[in-house]
Amino acid sequence: MLERIMEDDTGGDPVSGFRRAPTTTEKVAEALKPVDIHVSANTVARLLKQMDYSLRVNLKNLESGLSKPQDPHVRDEQFRYILRQKKAYAAQGRPVISVDTKSRELVGKFRQAGRRWSRQPIEVFDHDFPSDAEGVAIPYGIYDPSRNHGFVSVGTSRDTPQCAVDSISAWWTQIGTKQYAGADHLLILADCGGSNGYRARMWKHQLQVALCDSFGLHVKICHFPPGSSKWNPIEHRLFAPISNNWAAQPLVDHNTVLNFIRHTRTSTGLRICARLNKKQYRTGIKISDEQMQQVLLRRHTSRPQWNYSISPS
């Protein structure tokens, strides 16, 4: 009877057809009373565990909308293409970086997810009102998989393509030119959306002006398919350790943000540099067709919308 209640889910409105799931052990115990079975909620919980039931949340695993590839082979094909590009660049000693924007953080005494050992809880605001914040922190990260090294530019304005390319340019100036002296080719692995999305004209235009032309770099960009951002190396190799490091710790000011990023370590030897980017960025800037014609863009034969190169003028 217990299993029938859990599986059949007979409760609900017979007119509308809406059906209610027994979400608590108390409700399951109530559902058993009409068939003359009187047990406590604790007994129901014990019996459900014996039947391999447990409290579960929804599993976001079904592909839909933009996250669903056009056919089953598209995603695998793009992953294989990215892997080939990475191996080719590594064989020639050329730099490969994974880039993305971490979630925007309110700066101030706001609650941070997670738990940490402490004698007393840290007091924070009872609501996350932006008006109580000292500002925002928008970390844009550049991760070098071959060196296990990260570079994070913490913006205080907006997440825009200009901010993204400025962050990559800062990494190249401070880190890239030293670690890859003489290199004139760069492979960038990015998500499909956001400030470095494949549809953004400003992203391509800024790569041309602020990176390729400024440093004489030949830049190749490969985007992960929609819905595949979790496979971007920066997500689990850089951003995840940063989030773990400041778990349950309010980011009271920008120096605190920078210090937590800089002192993030892993057993595999991760090291991170961080800088504060106070430049103000505007949204809604349009790139004209004439400006796009000045971008020396060459699309690849394999998935040209996701794979392309930009050469210096």
CATH number at residue 159: 3.30.420
Q: Examine residue 294 and state whether it is found in any structural domain, yes or no.
A: yes
My answer on whether 40 and 69 are in the same domain is no
Q: Examine residue 57 and state whether it is found in any structural domain, yes or no.
A: no
My answer on whether 245 and 104 are in the same domain is yes
Closest CA relative to residue 105, chosen from 246, 274, 273 = 246
Q: How high is the pLDDT of residue 70?
A: 55
Q: Examine residue 56 and state whether it is found in any structural domain, yes or no.
A: no
Mean pLDDT of 151-167: 98
Spatial contact of 161 and 203, defined as CB atoms under 8 Å apart = yes
Q: Examine residue 59 and state whether it is found in any structural domain, yes or no.
A: no
In order of 116, 122, 199, the CA distances from 119 in angstroms are: 10, 10, 49
Distance between CA 272 and CA 259 in Å, rounded?
A: 10
My answer on whether 157 and 225 are in the same domain is yes
My answer on whether 103 and 46 are in the same domain is no
Q: Examine residue 189 and state whether it is found in any structural domain, yes or no.
A: yes
pLDDT exceeds 70 at position 21: no
pLDDT band at 22 (very low <50, low <70, confident <90, very high): low
pLDDT exceeds 60 at position 278: yes
What's the CA dihedral at 180, 184, 190, 195 to 10 degrees?
110
Q: Which helix H or strand E contains 256, and what residues bound it?
A: helix 254-262
Average pLDDT, the chain: 90
pLDDT exceeds 50 at position 162: yes
Q: How high is the pLDDT of residue 73?
A: 85
My answer on whether 158 and 213 are in the same domain is yes
Domain span at 17: 2-50
N- to C-terminal Cα distance for the chain?
Answer: 75
Task: Name which of 20-29, 183-192, 195-204, 296-305 the model is least confident about.
Answer: 20-29
Name which residue leads in pLDDT, 186 or 121: 186
My answer on whether 43 and 85 are in the same domain is no
What type of residue is 153?
A: S
Burial (CB count within 10 angstroms: exposed 0-12, middle 13-18, buried 19+), residue 209: middle
pLDDT exceeds 90 at position 23: no
Percent of the chain at pLDDT > 90 equals: 74
My answer on whether 31 and 73 are in the same domain is no
Q: Examine residue 296 and state whether it is found in any structural domain, yes or no.
A: yes
Model pLDDT for residues 173-208, shown as the tens digit of each residue? 999 999 999 999 999 999 999 999 999 999 999 999
My answer on whether 184 and 243 are in the same domain is yes
Question: Domain count of the chain?
Answer: 2
Task: Name which of 17-26, 158-167, 237-246, 295-304 the model is least confident about.
Answer: 17-26
Q: Examine residue 103 and state whether it is found in any structural domain, yes or no.
A: yes
Q: How high is the pLDDT of residue 61?
A: 63
At 163, is the secondary structure helix, strand, or coil? helix
Distance between CA 158 and CA 168 in Å, rounded?
A: 16
My answer on whether 21 and 105 are in the same domain is no
Q: How high is the pLDDT of residue 275?
A: 98
Q: Examine residue 124 and state whether it is found in any structural domain, yes or no.
A: yes
My answer on whether 35 and 113 are in the same domain is no
Q: How high is the pLDDT of residue 26?
A: 85
